[in-house]
Amino acid sequence: MDYFAQQLINGLVLGSIYGLIAIGYTMVYGIVGMINFAHGDVFMIGGFIALITFLILISLGLTAIPLILLVVLLVSMAITALYGWTIERIAYRPLRHSFRLAPMLSAIGMSFVLTNYSQVAQGARVKPIPPVITGGYTLHESADGFVIQLSNIQIIVVITTIVLLAIFTWLVSRTRLGRDMRACEQDQTMAALLGVDVDRTISMTFVIGAALAAVAGLMYLLYYGLVDFFMGFVAGIKAFTAAVLGGIGSLPGAMLGGLAIGLIETFWSAYFSVEYKDVAAFSILIVVLIFMPTGLLGRPEVEKV
């Protein structure tokens, strides 16, 4: 039981990170109707920018960890958001009325560009950082000596996710931008006729998605203590799986799916085999798409001619 509880905590933390990335997939899919294949790599770029900012701040002699983290968070969100904006502007906007496979192929090309750009720019080796946030709490100690640990970093990941999700939900449901986004999701032409700047709204969607991916990148960096240029690939597929599982296009669904994938992966590693944990996640993707294409909270898709 203690082992189970510990894995539950680990799974929830991992799931929060996947959920943050999955929101980017699901938002873009909802509005533009394409899978932003490069989104996993945007997450990776976010991790790298966080790492570099962190390194610079440390070498400048800053010691206050909360201040450092806040600056790192803001810088990486800002720059990664600009990446998201630029990618949409260069690779996706010109293709909005092109043939069916064009945006997807362009996104795949963009994903290669980002992966190899960071490999060329920052080298192929894994970049570790020393643990920044240490310590934690012992929740429970059983008779046979098994300890349930809740580390500070885990608390920070979960709290950050909850706070961001609250801000984000408010943004989508209460602000002008959110209303525009929902309008574009339903009917772009009609929204444009009613005075919604569709281009700007789509750009903002990419910006928000990239900023959330940057937060996920920072959390990943703090939690695992390393980044490398290839981490966006697997994390991207898993986050996409999460988005599909939750019902693509649905924002609460993305978070729910993220938690589900995180839990499934953790429990699979804990009780079955670590080697096959990715196989488990990918199999879920296939199974969900076959038997439940609308996901947990999604709407059935109507094909318009």
Q: Which of residues 245-274 bind other proteins (CB under 8 A)?
A: 273
Quick one: 85 or 169, whose CB is closer to other proteins? 85
Write down the residue that tokens 């001619």 correspond to: 305
Q: Is 68 one of the binding residues for other proteins (CB under 8 A)?
A: no
As measured in angstroms, the least distance from the Cβ of 167 to other proteins is: 24
Closest CA to 247 of 208, 284, 289, 210: 289
214 in contact with other proteins (CB under 8 A): no
Q: Which is nearer to other proteins, 138 or 304 (CB)?
A: 304
Question: Does 74 engage in binding with other proteins (CB under 8 A)?
Answer: no
Q: Does residue 131 belong to the site contacting other proteins (CB under 8 A)? A: no
| Number of C-beta neighbours around residue 172 at 10 A | 16
SS3 302: coil
DSSP letter at 128? Answer: E
Backbone phi, psi, residue 108, to 5°: -65, -45
Residue in 62, 64, 116, 292 binding other proteins, rule: CB under 8 A: 116
- Stretch of 9-17, 156-164, 264-272, 285-293 contacting other proteins, by CB under 8 A: 285-293
Mind giving me the DSSP string for 225-238? SEE-TTHHHHHHHH
**Is residue 134 part of the contact set for other proteins (CB under 8 A)?**
no
| One of 189, 275, 300, 302 touching other proteins (CB under 8 A) | 275
Structure tokens at 286: 């296939």
Q: How many residues does the chain have?
A: 305
Q: Which is nearer to other proteins, 130 or 145 (CB)?
A: 130
Residue whose CB is less far from other proteins, 12 or 264: 264
Cα–Cα distance measured from residue 226 to residue 76, given in angstroms and rounded to the nearest whole number: 16
- Count the residues of the shown chain that bind other proteins, applying the rule CB under 8 A: 72
Q: Which is nearer to other proteins, 168 or 206 (CB)?
A: 206
SS3 assignment, position 255: helix
